[in-house]
Amino acid sequence: MASSNTIFQICVVVHDVRKANANWARVLGLPEAAIEVIFPDGILHYTHGQPADYVDCQVAKYPLDGFVLELMQPGPGPSPWRYFLDRRGPGVFHFCVQVGDRKVFQQTLADIGVGLPYHVGYYPGGSYSYADTSDALGLELSVNHQADHAQLMQALLSGSVLPFDEWR
C-alpha cells in the first residue's frame, strides 16, 4: 500500500509561461505568480540513467488550498517537459505525491504494472522522480521524497552508485 494519499502538486506544461501565468492569475483571482528560471545548482538530474542538465526552464507556482499549481515552460533542449510538450502539446504533465519510503511506494507502483522511474532529480534535502504511469493512472506521476541525500549525491558523483540504485 502507498505511504501517501496526498497529491500536493499538479504540473501543467505550457508553451508560454507568461501568457498562462496571466490567464491563471485572472481565473484564480490572484496576483500573477513570480516566474523563476530553474533549475538551481545543487541538483543532479538523470533521465533514463544518464546525467542530464536542464537550462532555461521557466516556472510559475500558485500555492492553493492543499496543493501547488505549477506552470512549466521547458527550455529548448531535451527534457521530460520538452518531450511532453512536443509530443502532446500543453497539458497536465503530472500529479505529485510525497512519500516517506520510496521503496515501499515503488512496490505499490509495481503492483499496478508501473516500472522504475525514468527520471530522477537528487538534491541535498530529497529527491523527485517521474514514472510513466499513463497506462495505469492516466498521467505521469511525480514522487517526492524528503531525506538527507548528501552522501548519496557524493556517491553518484564519484560513480560508486548509479541513479535508481536506492530503488533496487
CATH number of the domain residue 11 falls in: 3.10.180.10
Q: Indicate whether 160 belongs to any domain.
A: no
Q: Does 84 fall in a domain?
A: yes
Label residue 140 by pLDDT band (50, 70, 90). Answer: very high
The answer to whether residue 51 sits within a structural domain is yes
Summarised one tens digit per residue, pLDDT across range 25-77 is: 999 999 999 999 886 666 788 888 887 877 788 999 999 998 999 999 998 88
For residue 168, is it within any domain? no
Mean pLDDT, residues 74-87 taken together: 90
Residue found under cell 507502483: 109
| Whole-number pLDDT of residue 64 | 95
Structural domain includes residue 67:
yes
Among 3, 78, 73, 83, residue whose Cα is nearest residue 38: 73
| Residue 115: domain span | 7-144
Helix residue spans in the chain (DSSP H): 17-28, 80-88, 102-111, 134-137, 150-158
Residue 111 lies in a domain: yes
The answer to whether residue 50 sits within a structural domain is yes
| Residue 47 counted as domain residue | yes
What is the number of domains present in the chain?
1
**pLDDT above 70 (res 6):** yes
Q: Would you say 99 and 105 are in contact if contact means Cβ atoms under 8 Å apart?
A: yes
Q: What is the pLDDT of residue 25?
A: 98
Q: What is the mean pLDDT of residues 79-85?
A: 90
